[in-house]
Structure 1
Amino acid sequence: MSLTPEQVRRVAHLARIEISDPEVHSTLGHMNEIFGLIEAMQAVDTTGVEPMAHAQDVAQRLRADRVTETGQLDEQRAAFQAIAPETEAGLYLVPKVIE
């Protein structure tokens, strides 16, 4: 598949990009190279190849999800809620936005 200069102008118009005639021919060459690469990649037989999320089969080590600072939570919440406009039963009260 190769593009025409009119198609490049159309794509530039849709992308809201101002493009001059010399830029059209330069861009046409670049876009045709990209489409050629895509066609070459699509020609490769990939039957039996499993899709993968990453080129290497690695697992990310994660830390355990547990509470580590228990004593300060109540004190922090009280300090934050002391400066809040309105609170009730440990919750922040906000204006109603949906009726």
Structure 2
Amino acid sequence: MSALSRDDVAHVAMLARIQLSEDELDRLAGQLDQIVGWVGQVNEVAAADVPPMSHPLPLVNVTRPDEVRPSLSQEDALANAPEAEDSRFAVPRILDED
């Protein structure tokens, strides 16, 4: 018997704004119960001497230094623009002013 009921699955689906059929609720109740069980197994194996980590390998963020470099002038940037207005790109309005 599943520890997670159909009502539990329906509640989680409602929170996630997912519409599920009756068959999907039945099927997912068992699947989610298995997932919760597997997470429980991982929690049992986790030892106090193992530090929490987000990735098993040490990762270093590789970025270049933020240095000022020459770039396009405003006129060059707008040279091929379909429309420009007040020294800026002109684009169609997508939002109302309300």
Same fold (TM over 0.5): yes
| TM tier, smaller | 0.5 to 0.7
Q: Which of the two has higher C-alpha Rg? A: 1
TM-score by length of 2: 0.58
Taking the aligned partners of 1:15 and 1:35, their CA distance within structure 2 comes to: 18
Q: Which residue of 2 aligns with 1:32?
A: 33
Unpaired segments ≥5 residues, structure 1: 86-99
Q: Which residue of 2 aligns with 1:90?
A: none
Unpaired segments ≥5 residues, structure 2: 78-83, 88-98
Q: Which residue of 2 aligns with 1:14?
A: 15
Q: Which residue of 2 aligns with 1:47?
A: 48
17-26 vs 34-43, which moves further: 17-26
Tell me if structure 2 keeps the 8 A contact 1:2–1:35: no
Instruction: Give the secondary structure class of the aligned counterpart of 2:45.
Output: coil
CA-CA distance at 1:58 after TM superposition: 3.3
User: What do you get for the CA RMSD once the two structures are aligned?
Assistant: 3.1
Runs of 4 or more above 6 Å deviation: none
Number of aligned positions between the proteins: 81
Does residue 84 (structure 1) correspond to residue 77 (structure 2)? The answer is no
